[in-house]
Chain A
Amino acid sequence: MGLGAFKRSLWVFHLNTGSCNGCDIEIIAALTPRYDVERFGIKLVGSPRHADVLLITGPVTRMMKDRLLRVYNQTPDPKVVVVVGNCGATGGVFYESYNLEGPVDRLIPVDIYVPGCPPRPEAIIDAIAKAWAKLEAMEAKK
């Protein structure tokens, strides 16, 4: 696959919807020098309005549901949603809790799942690469 249709750096917005921090610190670890995704032009941004990719961690608690939907709607198209960690994908160890509105795919369409509790930074980088490929395909269709 040739890269070319998606002509920008990939900007990522990270949203914690009730995660235990495990996945979140692995995402930061992916940004820092050992893994250093910034060398590929991948950057964490502070606002969903600037983002191409949404990185979502956590099983979506009741208080975070509306915020998740709002962030999803604020992200401009084309966008790719990546769920990092088991609890966002299935509920994980918290599956039977009374305070969950998730998993994430019950609320918004998800493109890529990263299993693991927490997944290693390598797996997160792999997911972002896949998200990039998907954006390429979306952009090429236009």
Chain B
Amino acid sequence: MKKNRVQIPIGPIHPALKEPIQIEVELKGEHVENVSITLGHVHRGIEWIGLRRNPVQTLALAERVCGICNIVHPLAFCTAIENAANIKVPERAEYLRVIYAELERIHSHLLFLGVAAHELGFDSILHYTWLVREKVLDVIEYLTGNRITKAILMIGGVRRDITEKQMPKVREALEYYEKVYKKLCDVFLDDPTINARTRDIGVLTKKQALQLCAVGPTARASGIKKDIRQDFPYAAYADLDVEAITPDVLLNEIRGDTFDRVVVRVLEIKQSLELIDRCLKEMPDGPILYEPMLQRLLVQLRQVAGEGVALVEAPRGELIHYIRMEKSEAPLAWKIRAPTYANLSSIVPMLEGCELADVPIVVASIDPCIACANRAIIADKNAVLDQEKLHALSVNKTRALLKGGSK
């Protein structure tokens, strides 16, 4: 290391981080010159465990990939299994899935806004956003029975219906958030403190975002109009005309900075409210589950041979689940590609050149979910995997899969 450079490790245990991840920044003076990220602290081997249980048991596991996005993970898992097994989900269940997923998006974005404010040292906003977030948690608890881990999705549908009697409470929450949304706009869009700390900080240009395959709000804030709900609709999104939100809707320009990433999320709260409102109005009547008898469903799943892929727009971006079934109790392969995994590499160009004090807010601005992203661990610390070695490894894995088994 050269003399006038300082290396500062952040994490895995650090007051500014809510989850274990190790970020090492190399500073020249006050400015970041180099960034390196180490993952693996939260690796629990979920995919491996999933190959030892039947799909309905694994559903509980899919929910515990991440405590914040625990509708979208089981949703993607269920959709992948349904694609593999050619299960047709009842239409009402598709709409219910949208409602639950959008409620989760509201909760997740409010959580992000609070965390972002906390990273700026603006704790009164953290407390405000988390206070208003309790309302959506109340609705989620009212509809699903749980605050955080909802356990509402099932292969072939959802477990609980929203009855006519429950509607008023959901509508009341929507009205409440209409009011809150105005205040959120005031707080996040017009506040000089937030403006000063986030404008032109941590810029990710459109070109960089495309090169690094950024997804979700991170990509949209850089001006890429991509959203799985718009491009490859799943559940009932095809009926709902979702459009990807970019910051120019409101600001007439795209800078791709931290402020833009906050703006996109504020706007998406509004979008989610409208989607829920439309779903409540347009939801058709009918069954909510493809096969209510669990045993019969399991017998059917045991006969499935084939693979299924599901793309889902999680609050943080596109989430992919891959499942391969080979007429056995447990799946033969299960692979998760979480949005944070795709977004982590865009932290590097964002951080380069910014000041040390901006590191927490820039890292938080992609809304990283480390628990989602930890899908592998390096057992041999001295091993260096370059492109060739990685390619060879993946060829071997594909061959093993074709032969019938990755266990």
Chain A interface residues toward B at CB < 8 A: 15-26, 28-29, 32-34, 46-47, 58-59, 61-64, 67, 71, 92-94, 96-100, 117-118, 120
Contact = CB atoms under 8 A, between A and B. Distances in A.
Contacts of B327: none
Nearest to B57: A93
A15 B40 CA distance: 16
B173 to A, nearest CB: 15
B13 interface: yes
Contacts of B64: 20, 22, 92-94, 117
Nearest to B58: A93
B67 A118 contact: yes
Could you say which interface size class chain B belongs to? 35 or more
Interface string B108-124: 00010010000000000
B19 A16 contact: yes
A48 B378 CA distance: 28
6 contacts: A16-B20, A21-B67, A32-B131, A64-B41, A94-B45, A117-B149
Nearest to B40: A63
Interface string B1-45: 000000000001101001110000000000000000000111111
A32 B127 contact: yes
B362 interface: no
A33 to B, nearest CB: 4
Nearest to B377: A99
Contacts of B15: 46-47
Given A16-B19, A18-B20, 18 more contacts: A18-B43, A20-B70, A21-B66, A21-B371, A22-B64, A25-B67, A26-B148, A28-B130, A29-B130, A29-B137, A32-B127, A32-B130, A63-B12, A63-B377, A67-B13, A67-B20, A93-B60, A120-B147
B42 A61 contact: yes
B48 interface: yes
Contacts of A33: 127, 130-131
